[in-house]
Amino acid sequence: MGHLRALALATHLGPTVVVTTVATLLAVASGLPAGRAALVCVAVLAGQASIGWSNDWLDADRDRAVARADKPVVQGAVQPRRLRSAALIAATTAVVLSLLLGVLPGLLLLVLVASGWAYNAGLKRTAASLLPYVTGFGALPAGVVATAPGAPIAPWWLVTAGGALGAAAHLANVAPDLEDDLATGVRGLPHRLGPRVSALTAALLLGGASVVLVIGPDGGPTVAGWIGLGLAVPAVAVAGLAGTARFRRPAFPAVMLLTVLDVVLLVLGGAGVS
């Protein structure tokens, strides 16, 4: 495995691409000029990369202990010290780029970065493991919307849906690794709830977020919104079945896919987000 490819994979490439795409689509929906939307994209990308790299750096010994074959650091393709350097450089870049968007939007966007680092640094091992996801993904749309002229306040339904989707993502993301986590001393909220309760909670949050995104915007539900709600059903079902071993791994991709789909349809439906 090449060094650059290993570094890219260590960002947790799938979630990084999804979160960056969602932020960029929200920037478009907020009517930002192309240059400013691009700055949002790069700032969020840097922040997400820093979170992924810090996770693999801080968890290197734990991942080796359970032989996580999907981790480049376990395969020896990248060393923890390189991940540490990359994480710190990316975090610094995210701070600079975010604040270039303005103090208020910059700080809101950096709430997501700080939440991710706090999770990696220890909150993942506590009953409060859900908190960084709710806080960070609730702040993300608020930060993107605030980059528009006049720093508008994001509508309640957008922030609510962001927090709910973040919580669902946490519950679904942890599902495949519950046993490995417990073996290495990680007991976050999903581990305490157990796989079945976590899966049902994730499904309820995912479905609830989709409903809020459809009925929340002014003017009532659009055709695109109803289509999105219909397409949400399979993803919600997969998330709800994540309590069984067969569906644990597909649950997180289902949440990520639905999140992007919801935002795409939000943009196509012309809903005002600021």
Together in a domain, 16 and 109: yes
Together in a domain, 184 and 79: no
pLDDT score at 232: 75
Residue 242 has pLDDT above 80, yes or no: no
Which CATH number characterizes residue 81's domain?
Answer: 1.10.357
Together in a domain, 103 and 214: no
pLDDT score at 3: 81
pLDDT per position as a tens digit, 173-214 = 887 777 878 888 889 999 899 888 888 888 888 888 888 888
pLDDT score at 216: 81
Q: What is the mean pLDDT of residues 110-127?
A: 96
Together in a domain, 95 and 40: yes
Does a structural domain hold residue 143?
A: no
Does a structural domain hold residue 209?
A: yes
pLDDT score at 211: 87
Which CATH number characterizes residue 161's domain?
Answer: 1.20.120.1780
Q: What is the mean pLDDT of residues 217-235?
A: 75
Together in a domain, 87 and 205: no
pLDDT score at 20: 96
pLDDT per position as a tens digit, 34-91 = 999 999 999 999 999 999 999 999 999 988 988 888 889 988 889 999 999 999 999 9
Q: Rounded to an integer, what distance in angstroms lies between the CA atom of residue 38 and that of residue 207?
A: 30
Does a structural domain hold residue 101?
A: yes
Together in a domain, 182 and 118: no
Burial of 204 (0-12, 13-18, 19+ CB in 10 A): middle
Residue 172 has pLDDT above 90, yes or no: no
Residue 116 has pLDDT above 80, yes or no: yes
Does a structural domain hold residue 87?
A: yes
Does a structural domain hold residue 142?
A: no
- The residue segments making up the domain with residue 42 are 1-126
Count of residues making up the chain: 274
The pLDDT confidence band at residue 273, using thresholds 50, 70 and 90, is: low
Residue 121 has pLDDT above 70, yes or no: yes
Together in a domain, 269 and 179: yes
Ramachandran angles phi, psi of 175, nearest 5°:
-50, -45
pLDDT per position as a tens digit, 151-161 = 899 999 999 99
Together in a domain, 121 and 172: no
- pTM assigned to the model: 0.90
Residue 272 has pLDDT above 70, yes or no: no
Structural contact between residues 157 and 217, judged by C-beta atoms closer than 8 angstroms: yes
Does a structural domain hold residue 138?
A: no
Q: Rounded to an integer, what distance in angstroms lies between the CA atom of residue 160 and that of residue 182?
A: 31
Together in a domain, 52 and 161: no
Together in a domain, 174 and 262: yes
Alpha helices in the chain (DSSP H): 3-10, 13-29, 34-58, 60-65, 72-75, 80-100, 103-121, 131-146, 156-174, 178-183, 189-193, 195-215, 223-240, 248-268
CA dihedral 36→137→241→68, nearest 10 degrees, is: 90
CA angle 153, 154, 158 (to 5 degrees): 165
Q: What is the mean pLDDT of residues 237-257?
A: 70
Residue 266 has pLDDT above 90, yes or no: no
Q: Name the domain count of the chain.
A: 2
pLDDT score at 183: 83
Residue 270 has pLDDT above 60, yes or no: no
